Every structure is written in structure tokens, then in C-alpha cells.
Amino acid sequence: MGSAFYVMDDNKLKTENLKKLQAENQQRAFRMMFEILIIFGLPALVATVAGKLIDNQLETGRLVTLSLLAIAFVSSWFMVILKYRKLSREMKKLDQELKEMREQELK
């Protein structure tokens, strides 16, 4: 009977740790919003400034600026998708571990 008590305490402790990790991942998701702002904003700013400089030197109108902005946009989305996939895998893993812990607590 004593060992069952320790197992229950151990499961409870693991569940609490997993819940903490889940809360931390949720906070990371909010931080990611700011990262996304930087991921899109910084390349767009650089593309605009560099594009205007090159356009003025080569007298190409807005061709280079628009081309660089398109490249910045596509590369930014690529980086966002990579970040999303990484976070999604981590959250699914954590959710699965929590589900398993809850099932063990019910037994």
C-alpha cells in the first residue's frame, strides 16, 4: 500500500511538471508573435532600403525594390512555417505525455 502512495505522488509530480512545460510553451507561442513581426518587418525594411538604392543607381524604376520585397516576403513565410512546425511538434509531444499521465492517474 505504501508503494502505491509513492507512485501516485510521482505521477502527480510528473503531471505538474508537464503542465508547467505546457504553460511555458503557451508563453513561447505569444513570444513567437513578436518574432514573426521581426521576421517580416526586418527583411521588408532591408529590401525596401536596398531596393530603392539600387533602383536609383540603375534607374530601373521600382523593379528591384519590388523584386527584393517579394523575395523577403517568401523567405519570411518559409521561416514562419519552420518555426510553426517545430512548436507544433513540441506541443503535440507534451499533450501526449499529459494524456498518458492522466490515464495512469485514473488507473
Question: What are 9-38's pLDDT values in tens digits?
Answer: 777 778 888 888 888 888 888 887 888 889
Can you give the residue range of the structural domain that contains 25? 2-106
Amino acid at 75: S
Enumerate residue ranges in the chain where pLDDT < 50.
1-2
C-beta of residue 15 within 8 angstroms of C-beta of residue 95: no
Place of cell 517568401: 74
Query: Global pTM?
Result: 0.60
The pLDDT of residue 7 is 53
Cβ-based burial of 72 (10 A; exposed 0-12, middle 13-18, buried ≥19): buried
